[in-house]
Amino acid sequence: MDAPRCDQTEAWTALAGHYEAHGRELDLREAFARDPGRFASLSVEAPEVFADLSKNLVDLATLKFLVDLARECRLEERRDAMFAGAPVNSTEGRAVLHTALRAPRGQGPFSDEVHGVLDAMLAYAESVRDTAASGIRHVVNIGIGGSDLGPQMAVPALDAFVHPGLQFHFVANVDGHDITPVLRHLKPAETLFIVASKTFTTQETMANAHAARAWFIKNGGTDTARHFVATTTNVKAAAEFGISTTFGFWDWVGGRYSLWSAIGLPLAIAIGAENFRALLAGAHAMDRHFAEAPLAKNLPALLGLLDLWYRNFHGFTSRSVAPYHQGLKRLPAYLQQLEMESNGKRVDLDGASLPYGTSPVVWGEPGTNGQHAYFQMLHQGTDVIPVEFILVKRPTHALADLHTKLLANGLAQSQALMLGKSSEQASNERAPTASKALDPATLARHRTFPGNRPSTTLLLDQLTPRSLGTLIAMYEHRVFTSGALWGINSFDQWGVELGKALCSDLLPRLASGEATGLDASTAGLLARLRA
Catalogue the active-site residues: 341, 372, 500
Backbone angles phi, psi at 461, to 5 degrees: -70, -45
Dihedral angle sign, alpha carbons of residues 366, 369, 374, 378 = positive
Residue 436's alpha-carbon distances to 397, 430, 431, 433, in angstroms, are 45, 12, 10, 9
CA 64 – CA 150 distance, rounded (Å): 34
- Cα 360–Cα 364–Cα 368 angle in degrees, nearest 5: 150
Q: Is 4 exposed, middle or buried (0-12, 13-18, 19+ CB in 10 A)?
A: middle
From edge to edge, which strands make up the β-sheet containing 387-394? 43-46, 49-52, 455-462, 387-394, 318-324, 361-364
- H-helix or E-strand spanning residue 394: strand 387-394
Q: How many CB atoms lie within 10 A of CB 528?
A: 8
Residue 300's alpha-carbon distances to 184, 401, 471, in angstroms, are 43, 33, 10
Q: Is 504 exposed, middle or buried (0-12, 13-18, 19+ CB in 10 A)?
A: exposed
**What are the E-state strand segments in 134-223?**
138-142, 167-171, 191-196
CA 412 – CA 416 distance, rounded (Å): 6
Dihedral angle sign, alpha carbons of residues 198, 202, 207, 208 = negative
Closest CA to 375 of 336, 339, 417: 417
CA 226 – CA 496 distance, rounded (Å): 33
CA 383 – CA 363 distance, rounded (Å): 14
C-alpha neighbours within 13 Å on the C-beta side of residue 472: 34
Residue 54's alpha-carbon distances to 16, 51, 202, 355, 414, in angstroms, are 21, 9, 44, 30, 11
Residue 72 makes CB contacts below 8 A (sequence gap 6+) with: 4, 9, 10, 11
Identify the three-state secondary structure at position 257: helix
Number of H helices, E strands in the chain: 25, 11
Identify the three-state secondary structure at position 44: strand
